[in-house]
Chains A and B, each alone.
Chain A
């Protein structure tokens, strides 16, 4: 009986949290749609979230592209098809790996920062102080952060794809001895608009998702410094889970319509 009761309480809390998150999103969208956007704050956030993530995205993308080329070369060489390494690297990165891995890294770096920042502001009463100053804290603190997340992630992912392809290029040319011009030509030829666009659409959605989850968790953080730690961890874990699940759904939809 107590197990059922605990399950019921858990379900009620999850439903309540999800409903609350939807209302929170509604408030954010209301400000965005009515044009109440502090563009200077958005630019500041784009700089902080974007520049702060560039190095780690570059390093992981370079390594991912290189490893993909190394593994791809070994596999394809067994079938005498090592020339297809360029296609394998480029298509894997553009369609799946960069949008998903890049979003994971962004969530762990910029998303965690967002939650911790808003969470600390909440436990230090800065959010409620904003209300006492006659300013809506969602408009002042959340809208710029969420918009920046939505705008900066696609840029970072395009950067990640480019760096990853460069990583693959070095392995393909230096290790697999594929001619440089052939590798570049194959890469450019294989990426169609649909390939790029399918990854890009996912990235826009992931940026929106990460911004929403991380800002929501930060905005409602309770419990002092321990609470900030808990909510930040929760925000990053939820972002990972929802990125993975939504990636599966989006991939199915995209493949159904565009192949």
Chain B
């Protein structure tokens, strides 16, 4: 379980996160929603230790990662997948090499076992025909799929997705959301997503968290969100 306790973060005297508290349960899909600049991505980057809070703690299976140096965070991240908004695939590697890379680095699998696993994961994300292509030869949706394949290949226990469908058309967006849901259920991992896509978030999430101007407003199931009387919640989710 991941527990965020009273974290604050400032950049150049601008408060981005204010006393944020959040508990993320094992195996759930939690979608963090909020307006642009509300602090979603900053919060996500804190959860994986890419940013350190000014105050507060982030307990990752009981370990406070806010206090860990980068050197000790690196081994923890071997079991974590992170899907970047633009994919962040290595542009000097093919799709196959990008996806195989985490396994080549961290697993003791043989080359043939890695090959089989990469092919399986590429089939899962529907990219089996693109394994020899370079990222520059892929469409936006294909890049996200390839990045998702890289994020989950090492049997991620936790999957972080930063705006996984930004810039995609509604059909592609729906495909990616379904894919994330299916992967979460198949791998029994915990998935945390930041998004603006309220419809798909309500459809896929086990719980939603609304963040507004750096404050956590509500964390609740889609049904509870729909029944909420909070004006801010109603305003955000009815838009």
Contact = CB atoms under 8 A, between A and B. Distances in A.
B50 A125 contact: no
16 contacts: A121-B91, A124-B86, A125-B86, A126-B88, A126-B89, A126-B90, A128-B50, A128-B84, A129-B84, A132-B48, A132-B80, A133-B101, A133-B102, A134-B74, A135-B105, A136-B71
A59 B76 CA distance: 51
A136 B74 contact: yes
Given A128-B50, A129-B82, A135 B74 contact: yes
Interface string B89-121: 111000000000110011000000000000000
A121 B135 CA distance: 13
B18 interface: no
A128 B85 CA distance: 12
B133 interface: no
A12 interface: no
Interface in A89-143: 120-121, 124-126, 128-129, 131-136
A13 to B, nearest CB: 15
B196 to A, nearest CB: 19
B50 A131 contact: yes
A131 B88 contact: no
Contacts of B231: none
Contacts of B91: 120-121, 124, 126
Closest 6 CB pairs of A and B: A129-B88, A132-B82, A125-B88, A134-B77, A134-B78, A134-B74
Contacts of B150: 133
A202 to B, nearest CB: 32
Contacts of A131: 50, 70, 74, 77
Given A120-B91, A132-B77, 10 more contacts: A124-B86, A125-B86, A126-B91, A129-B82, A129-B88, A133-B102, A134-B76, A134-B102, A134-B105, A135-B105
A128 B160 CA distance: 14
Contacts of B80: 132, 134
A158 B12 CA distance: 50
Contacts of B84: 125, 128-129
Contacts of B50: 128, 131-132
Interface of B: 48, 50, 70-71, 74-78, 80, 82, 84-86, 88-91, 101-102, 105-106, 150
B121 to A, nearest CB: 15
Contacts of B48: 132
B86 A133 contact: no
B18 to A, nearest CB: 24
A31 B78 CA distance: 20
User: Which size bracket describes the interface of A in this complex?
Assistant: 10 to 19
B86 A134 contact: no
Contacts of A129: 82, 84, 88-90
Contacts of B86: 124-125
Nearest to B106: A134
A124 B88 contact: yes
A135 B70 CA distance: 10
A128 B77 contact: no
A107 B91 CA distance: 23
B88 to A, nearest CB: 4
A128 B90 CA distance: 11
A238 B131 CA distance: 41
Q: Give the residue among A124, A126, A132, A136 with the most B Cβ atoms within 10 A.
A: A132
Given A133-B77, A136-B74, A128 B88 contact: yes
A121 B71 CA distance: 21
A23 to B, nearest CB: 12
B44 to A, nearest CB: 11
B144 to A, nearest CB: 13
B75 A134 contact: yes
A125 B135 CA distance: 14
B204 to A, nearest CB: 22
Contacts of B101: 133
A213 B76 CA distance: 31
A85 to B, nearest CB: 47
A135 B73 CA distance: 10
Nearest to A117: B92
Contacts of B82: 129, 132
B224 to A, nearest CB: 31
Contacts of B90: 121, 126, 129
A33 to B, nearest CB: 16
A128 B48 CA distance: 11
